[in-house]
Chains A and B, each alone.
Chain A
Amino acid sequence: MLRYSLRRIVLLLVTLWLLSLLIFSLNYWYPGDTLTNMTGIADTHSLAYQEAYVARGFNDGLMTQYGEFIRHLLSSDWGLSLVTQQPVFAEIKPLLGATIELGLLAMLLAMVLGIPLGVYAAAQQRGPIDRIIMGISLSAYSIPVFWLAQLFILLFAIKLGWSPISGQINPLYAIETQTGSILIDIWLSDSPFKSAAFYDALNHLWVPVIVLAMMPLTMLIRIMRNAVLDTLQQNYIKAARARGLSDSTIMLRHTLPNALQPVVRQLGLQFSVLMTNIVITEVIFNWPGLGSWLVKSIYERDFPVIQAGLLILASLILLVNVLVDLLHAWRYPQVRKEIDAE
């Protein structure tokens, strides 16, 4: 396990290093002044620019500049936004909170619904319910997120009036943004209308969460169903049957724990898909998260923000993937053997 973990962590570090190299190079490839792209100081005659010139090693070669780039990155000096002239790093926390809240809830919903539905479909293999579940999940899987989001807005917000169109909460509730996650912020706030605000926030949440959960949900159903069917073919299941164990015991004790193994392995991949979709969802629902921030910064050619957005989103995906891999390997030793076999 130790060996496997070390290998994964070294791989993570190497990938992060490559990512930092790419982002460092972007500063030189973007149009305009390199130092401005890096620090967000637009006035090249200002004192701040001169100071940054020295501090960022621009009197020396590329190697020093890269070293200084990393040092500034690690000391959370990520420059200023070209548009707002506010420090970029300080803006990230609430955005990250909002993105993680949306992503986690969607993932949770996908797992809570996807795993039982997959198992149920497998148990009813080739029955009408199996066909209905698989049919629906396949068609839902084929709907692109941006279209699904528009459809849901049209249906739930405009036709039925069940939910608002966009945003995190009705802005008349003066909820101070602390973590960025709206539910936690309401909980931390001293608003006199906490429960109403909480209800309002949930009302804003459920449509984007369902939209976002759709893709991982349908994937999970299909993976789960196949995994359960595979497991049911195993000899130890036959043995259990031969011993006269009941169907439900076989399913819960012997099938499910083993069938979850490929599902856990898929979670990292699903997270990457989720993060791609979250960018689109955030833009459509005007969600104050990293995705909409990144897209907006691209429109505005705000290079320091583009870098920060790329770095955070890419690192988040890498980190989650490694964590899932480690969890997978720790939970299922046979995987470790497969990988480590020499």
Chain B
Amino acid sequence: MLKQLMIASSTLVLAACGPVQTDSEVYQDGLVYCSEGNPEIFNPQLVTSGTTVDATSAQLYDRLLDYDAKQQQFVPALARGWQAFEQGQRYRFNLRENVQFHTTEWFTPTRTFNADDVLFSFQRWLNEQHPYHQVNGGRYPFFRSSGLIKLIEKVEKVDDYTVDFHLTQSDSSFLANLATDFAVVLSQEYAEQLLETGKPEQIDRLPIGTGPFEFELFRKDFVIRYSAHEGYWREQPEIKTLVYVITPNANKRMLKLVTGECDVIPYPLVDELSQLDQGAEIQVGSSVSPNVSFWAFNTQHPPFDNVLVRRALALAINRPAIIQTIYNGNARLATGMLPETSWAYSPVQQTYPYNPGKARELLAEAGYPNGFSMDIWAMPVQRAYNPNAQRMAELIQSDLAQVGVQANIVSYEWNTFRQRLVAGQHDSVLIGWVADNADPDNFFRPTLSCAAARSGNNRAQWCNPLFDQLLIDAITESDLDQRKHLYQAIEDFVMQQAPLVPIANSLRFQAHRGDIEGVELPPYGGINFRYARRVSDAPL
């Protein structure tokens, strides 16, 4: 030990002299992604957080079908094909054969993927009596808030490679929901094995999937390590070692990209973007991300149960100024919940203008002529829809002071933050939503329905049966023009009730070193490293 230290200290001086030395073999086959936070768990079924999706869905797992955003159509994945029967109330999926699961230190599969795995993956969250239903929380927020839990009546195995999904009603968003990052397929054999050894909770902590990368290890706050899945059924990934370095600080993330410690970073700071784009060694990619950032009021906490108060606060904030400061021109003022990219979008203004005078009147009418004191919860991390929630909270704080409302800014570590949100401990929160699929339903049902209020994903804790009925009407309608009208009615309803104030629709950014190619930033869902590769040998 002592000798080791002696060597260490003497070499310290030597190390200081040269530039960062690199071992080309290690660097050529590896990629470092500096992610913005810890995943909560390694199974996207259990969460809705983008950080967890980025770390799991596209890397570890596959879905029955994928959505190809370029061609705007569904493409086969684990299912080779599918047909709809009985006016869209039954879907039959033909499964792919010879799909290998990961072989790791903790699990060696004896069989390839088949219908049992599909059954297990869906029964786990569909069936409350399923032995795995309660494992690791049993919340399944996406399936609950998107209504998929209610929509799927049962999943039936026809033979080893054919599965039938029976739906309670025809639903135009069913395939879109199956193609999201949340509807992943797990290994039934692995689950059985864990049940026998009495450690079922490991299924989401030491994950096994069919995806292009295998999980190796996770050290909270430091790294997640993956290696390429040798027997992957699609084209092998070129990257052999994929490492996520957890770097919550946005400045540090940018600097580490500049020094070459990170190859790819999410959510670069918008202010420095232009500066970054100049150097050829760093490239900034953006995609139109279907997202909306909003300020949600907890309608269970007085005075926010009063619609007048909610409208007053919506009138009190200067959204154009916020957008100028926070997004630096990389976002558009939201005209409602739906972004411009949605086919149901309409340019009609369905939000409140900035009018502090009117806001004061409404507050007086609601019985708060002298204002009140409230909390604004601001996310501790950057999301595509909001690069700096803390700063946004400060701007809102000063706007609110103008109408006599005193706001305190509250923040917690990201996982704690979300847990407390689900528990409904907030007065109001600056957060947002990134759509998982192209259907406009995905902007409303997971965020504002009664089911979402129960699962905690409805940040306004707002439940209105009339609104839910509107959503159902819109989803069962098959005529596109009619649906568009219905979604406009829904937007109007949100504006009238003001459970939340839509603020901005922004672009999603990602920056990477010049020698990295093929890192996909799909408009829907998480980052994908399947096609990533390093172009030249030069590591720096």
Which residues of A pack against B, CB within 8 Å? 83-85, 104-105, 108-109, 112, 153, 157-158, 161-167, 170-174, 177, 183-184, 187, 193, 196, 199-200, 202-203, 205-206, 209, 286, 288, 292-293, 296, 299-301
Contacts and interface: CB of A to CB of B under 8 A. Distances in A.
22 contacts: A105-B9, A157-B255, A158-B255, A161-B19, A161-B259, A162-B16, A165-B255, A167-B261, A170-B32, A172-B243, A193-B23, A200-B21, A202-B12, A202-B15, A205-B8, A206-B16, A288-B219, A288-B221, A292-B221, A296-B221, A300-B413, A301-B412
Contact of A193 (B16, B26, B219, B247): B26
A162 B12 contact: no
Contacts, number: 120
B263 to A, nearest CB: 10
A165 B261 contact: yes
B9 A199 contact: no
B252 interface: yes
Please provide the 8 A-B residue pairs with the shortest distance between their CB atoms, ordered closest to farther.
Answer: A172-B30, A196-B23, A299-B413, A202-B15, A171-B243, A300-B413, A206-B12, A171-B223
A254 B247 CA distance: 53
B92 to A, nearest CB: 40
Nearest to A160: B19
Nearest to A300: B413
Given A164-B261, A165-B259, A300-B413, 14 more contacts: A84-B220, A85-B201, A105-B12, A166-B252, A170-B32, A173-B26, A196-B21, A200-B20, A202-B8, A202-B15, A205-B8, A296-B221, A299-B412, A301-B412
A108 B9 contact: yes
A184 B5 CA distance: 9
Contacts of B223: 171
A133 B216 CA distance: 50
Contacts of B261: 164-167, 170
A165 to B, nearest CB: 5
Nearest to B227: A174
Given A170-B261, A174-B225, A286-B247, A203 B20 contact: yes
B32 A172 contact: yes
Given A196-B23, A200-B21, A209 B12 contact: yes
B27 interface: yes
B8 A183 contact: yes
Interface string B252-290: 100110110100000000000000000000000000000
B36 to A, nearest CB: 14
B259 A288 contact: no
Nearest to A112: B9
Contacts of A193: 23, 25-26
B301 to A, nearest CB: 19
B1 interface: yes
Contacts of B15: 163, 199, 202-203, 205-206
Contacts of A165: 252, 255-256, 259, 261
Given A167-B245, A172-B32, A301-B416, A161 B20 contact: yes
A157 B259 contact: yes
A109 B21 contact: no
Contacts of A206: 12, 15-16
B531 interface: no
Contacts of A85: 201
B415 to A, nearest CB: 6
Contacts of A105: 5, 8-9, 12
B42 to A, nearest CB: 12
A105 to B, nearest CB: 6
Contacts of B413: 296, 299-301
B4 A108 contact: no
Contact of A300 (B243, B259, B415): B415
A158 B258 contact: yes
A250 B69 CA distance: 82
B536 interface: no
B220 A83 contact: yes
Given A161-B259, A206-B16, A288-B222, A172 B241 contact: yes
Contacts of A163: 15-16, 20
Nearest to B218: A84
B79 to A, nearest CB: 34
Nearest to A176: B217
A158 B259 contact: yes
Given A165-B259, A301-B412, A205 B241 contact: no
A184 B4 contact: yes
B20 A164 contact: yes
Contact of B5 (A108, A157, A296): A108
Nearest to B241: A172
A202 B20 CA distance: 10
A1 to B, nearest CB: 26
B154 to A, nearest CB: 30
Contacts of B71: none
Given A200-B21, A296-B413, A205 B12 contact: yes
A157 to B, nearest CB: 6
Given A112-B9, A171-B225, A196 B26 contact: yes
A164 B25 CA distance: 19
Contacts of B83: none
A110 to B, nearest CB: 11
B245 A203 contact: no
Contacts of B30: 172
Contact of B21 (A157, A166, A199, A205): A199
Contacts of A172: 26-27, 30, 32, 241, 243
B110 interface: no
Interface in B332-364: none
B26 to A, nearest CB: 5
A206 B17 CA distance: 11
B259 A164 contact: yes
Contacts of B18: 162
A321 to B, nearest CB: 22
B11 interface: yes
A203 B21 CA distance: 9
B526 to A, nearest CB: 20
Contacts of A296: 221, 413
Contacts of A292: 221
Given A172-B30, A300-B416, A162 B259 contact: no
